[in-house]
Amino acid sequence: MLVKITILVLFSILDVKCNLVKKNIVFKKPNLHLFTVIKFHNDPCQAVSGLNGICFTSSECEKKGGRASGDCAMGFGVCCIVEKSCGSQINQNLTYFNFNSSISDSFCKITICPLDSNVCRLRLDFEDFTLAGPLEDTAADVADTAVKTLHSIIGECIEDTFIVKAAEGPSPPAICGTNTGQHMYTSLRGGCATISVNLGESTIERNLVVRTTQIPCTSEPLSDCLQYFTGTSGNIKSFNNGGTGTHLTNQKYTACIRRERGYCSICWSSTSFQMSLQTADNGDTGNKGMSEYDLDCGRTFIPDAATMPTYAGFGDYVEIPQGRCVGSTDDVESIDRYCGEVLACSPTTAGTATATPSSVCSSVYPFQIRVFTDSFEEITKEDGVPGSTGVDRSPQTGFNLNYQQILCQ
């Protein structure tokens, strides 16, 4: 959309004639030049406050309920920041959703509607995201009973939840905890999306600053991408303080990376990786650094000592399509699923040693990883037996992965 500003320009007709003659322009009807129309696009702009806004005239900004934060369009426009809170509806691009502890209500909802029919996707950037985290259960909180062994609520967002409902198709998974710097996409195709925040009784300070960006249908990422990253290198973390805080249950999503021109493969390495805790294997104990893959990852927990006495289950894993070790001589077949406590593309001898972290590479297009966590998170014991009297081990912390695209050979 173009904004038109009409400015009365006071000048003498003689001067105008002179200037136009110098430019070999025939001067006709001088009265048509008494007004000059200035046009500029409503482009994104960087506000003085550091936030992102849209360039509008000052009057347009005021009509949209925004505030001016610096100039744009060579001073003819203002960088307009639009911020909304609970109970509002957003139908303007680059609008911020703000929420903090001063809000007394335990429930907050906001609706985001497409600016026009050319919008298909919505990107949410969490510039600040601090809610109560998931349950971090220990043996002191709940007695080690058969009930706890059969089911656990570790990693569930019991206290606070941040829920996005897509306008169409699957919605993103519910999240909580600390997610500053993270982002997610959802659908705006054919309708409005909603964000709901539910608060528990915790007295911690909550704060949300979420930037909403509407994505045209012609430039949207793949429709099944919850997250989308660009650049030849970067970092992807699990939700809730990726790699340092208890990871969340029931997470099933795809993170996509744009393949840059001239690059044919992508390699992954981890600074932190805990996707299903290894307890013991073949009767051995204490092998915390084990890695598992493919058939082991995604296995359902079986709380039957006679059938599988030493596993807490491997329902959580990261999928890297046809992952392989670079230069390895022992990974004859490619590996898709990775779990355990180390990202490694070649296993160690089961139950006898700690796996060595390694880089996992893939040449499958599009570049992506898929994340799966189940609803069962068990605090296992050092002796490898869930529910025993051994020492508790910490809950899983998810992953912190670095990627590097590799040039075509």
Where do the domains of the chain lie? 2-42+56-61+67-78, 85-220, 222-409
Q: 385's torsion region: left (phi>0), alpha (psi -120 to 50) or beta?
A: beta
User: pLDDT tens digit string along 226-235?
Assistant: 999 999 999 9
Residue 27: predicted pLDDT: 42
3-state secondary structure of 121: strand
As a whole number of angstroms, the distance between CA 369 and CA 255 comes to 5
Quote the pLDDT of residue 328.
Answer: 53
CA dist., res. 171 & res. 187, Å (int): 8
Any idea which of 21-25, 153-157, 330-334 has the lowest mean pLDDT? 21-25
Strand partners, 86: none
Q: How far is CA 104 from CA 110, 198, 309, 384, in A?
A: 16, 12, 48, 45
Q: Per-residue b/e over 9-43, b at no fewer than 16 CB within 10 Å? A: eeeeeeeeeeeeeeeeeeeeeeeeeeeeeeebebe
What is the per-residue pLDDT for 25?
45
- Fold: same for 85-220 and 222-409: yes
* Domain 222-409 listed as CATH 3.40.1190.20: no
Strand 252-257 to 193-198 pairing: unpaired
Residue owning tokens 């550091």? 50
pLDDT of residue 378: 60
Mean of the pLDDT values across residues 81-95? 92
Query: Is residue 343 predicted with pLDDT exceeding 90?
Result: no
**Helix, strand, coil in percent for the chain, rounding step 5:** 10, 40, 55
Q: What are phi and psi of 102, to 5 degrees?
A: -70, -15
Q: What is the pLDDT of residues 345-387, one digit of tens each?
A: 765 444 445 567 889 999 999 999 999 998 877 655 444 444 4
Q: What pLDDT is attached to residue 340? A: 79
How does the average pLDDT of the chain come out, rounded?
78
For domain 85-220, the CATH superfamily is: Spermadhesin, CUB domain (2.60.120.290)
Distance between CA atoms of residues 144 and 233, nearest Å: 44
Longest dimension (CA), the chain: 103
pLDDT for position 333: 65
Quickly state the pLDDT bin for 393 (edges 50, 70, 90): low
Share of the chain above pLDDT 70, in %: 68
Range of 92-96, 379-383, 385-389, 390-394 with top mean pLDDT? 92-96
- Decide: 101 and 81 in contact? Cβ < 8 Å: no
Q: How many CA atoms lie within 13 A of 401 on its CB side?
A: 32
Q: Per this entry, what is the length of the chain?
A: 409
Give the model's pLDDT for residue 284: 37
Whether residue 309 contacts residue 283, with contact meaning beta carbons closer than 8 Å, is answered with no
What's the gap between Cα 100 and its chain centre? 20
Query: How far apart are the two ends of the chain, measured CA to CA in Å?
Result: 45
Residue 262 corresponds to which amino acid? G
pLDDT at 155 over 90: no
Residue type for 269, please?
S
How open is the CA angle 279-296-342, to the nearest 5 degrees? 60
- Count CB neighbours of 108 within 10 A: 19
**Least confident residue range of 32-36, 203-207, 290-294, 372-376:** 32-36
d(CA 119, CA 135): 37
Give the sign of the dihedral formed by CA 92, CA 97, CA 103, CA 105. Answer: positive
**Residue 119, C-beta contacts closer than 8 angstroms, at least 6 positions apart:** 188, 214, 215, 216, 217
Q: What's the token pair of residue 111?
A: 């609706």
Task: Tell me which H or E stretch contains 2.
Answer: strand 2-8
In contact, 345 and 331? CB cutoff 8 Å: yes
Q: How far apart are CA 70 and CA 47, in angstroms?
A: 6
Question: What was the pLDDT predicted at 199?
Answer: 92
